[in-house]
Chain A
Amino acid sequence: DVKVTQSSRYLVKRTGEKVFLECVQDMDHENMFWYRQDPGLGLRLIYFSYDVKMKEKGDIPEGYSVSREKKERFSLILESASTNQTSMYLCASIPGVGRDAVKLFFGSGTQLSVL
Chain B
Amino acid sequence: DAKTTQPPSMDCAEGRAANLPCNHSTISGNEYVYWYRQIHSQGPQYIIHGLKNNETNEMASLIITEDRKSSTLILPHATLRDTAVYYCIVRVPPDDYKLSFGAGTTVTVRA
Contact = CB atoms under 8 A, between A and B. Distances in A.
A and B together in one complex: yes
Interface of A: 4, 31, 33, 35, 40-45, 48, 50, 56, 58-59, 90, 92, 96-97, 101-109
7 contacts: A4-B43, A42-B87, A43-B44, A43-B87, A48-B98, A102-B49, A108-B41
A13 B100 CA distance: 27
Contact of A42 (B93, B94, B102): B102
B94 A41 contact: no
Given A41-B103, A42-B87, A42-B102, A103 B97 contact: no
A102 B93 contact: yes
B44 A58 contact: no
B65 to A, nearest CB: 21
A109 to B, nearest CB: 6
Main secondary structure of the interface of B (DSSP, over half): loop
Contacts of A44: 100-101
A53 to B, nearest CB: 15
A31 B93 CA distance: 12
A44 B104 CA distance: 12
Interface of B: 32, 34, 36, 41-46, 49, 87, 93-94, 97-104
Contact of A102 (B34, B41, B97, B98): B34
A90 B94 contact: no
A59 B101 CA distance: 11
Contacts of A33: 99
Contacts of B34: 102
A50 B104 CA distance: 26
A97 B43 contact: no
Contacts of B32: 102
Given A43-B100, A104-B46, 10 more contacts: A33-B99, A35-B101, A42-B104, A48-B99, A50-B97, A58-B100, A96-B94, A102-B49, A103-B46, A106-B44
A41 B101 CA distance: 9
Given A42-B87, A42-B102, A102-B34, A48 B97 contact: yes
